[in-house]
Structure 1
Amino acid sequence: MGRRPEVFVRQVSMAEGQRLQRITRTAKDPVKLRRAIVVLMSAQGQPAPDIAHLLKVTEDYVRDVIHAFNERGFDALDP
């Protein structure tokens, strides 16, 4: 089985990036915080396997969060 194709979050605007950074500083819910970190790291060009390793989650989790954000935007961060 070969490597899975890389998946990245869609292009994030400056305002969206700032909003994501604000969420990572102020989120009370650990799920929302983790999802925001995944999206922010992906927007910065980090591949899913690296994000998964750093956050100690599965690659599938990272990919699911990225796909959800691409489809639903910030609503995807809410648990």
Structure 2
Amino acid sequence: MSLPKPMMRGMLGKRLRFHLPIAFAVSLLSAVALKYTVTEPRKQAYAEFYKTYDAAKDFNAMKEAGVFESVQPSGE
């Protein structure tokens, strides 16, 4: 009793017709999931931060702390 020969002709095309749509769907699903779980919350967090951000106030605080070497604190 011997094993039957495997069907090799057309095997690549048959496997691609099955796996290609699945791969496309999984990649599309993961791209959408990344957009709504990472990108949108990050954009919202940046928008919330910059609503109340005052660059001049932040600069003055860093200047007073001595962060910048080329800018002298106003107290000196």
Per the shorter chain, which TM-score range?
under 0.3
Larger Rg: 2
- After TM superposition, the score normalised by the length of structure 1 is 0.22
- After TM superposition, the score normalised by the length of structure 2 is 0.23
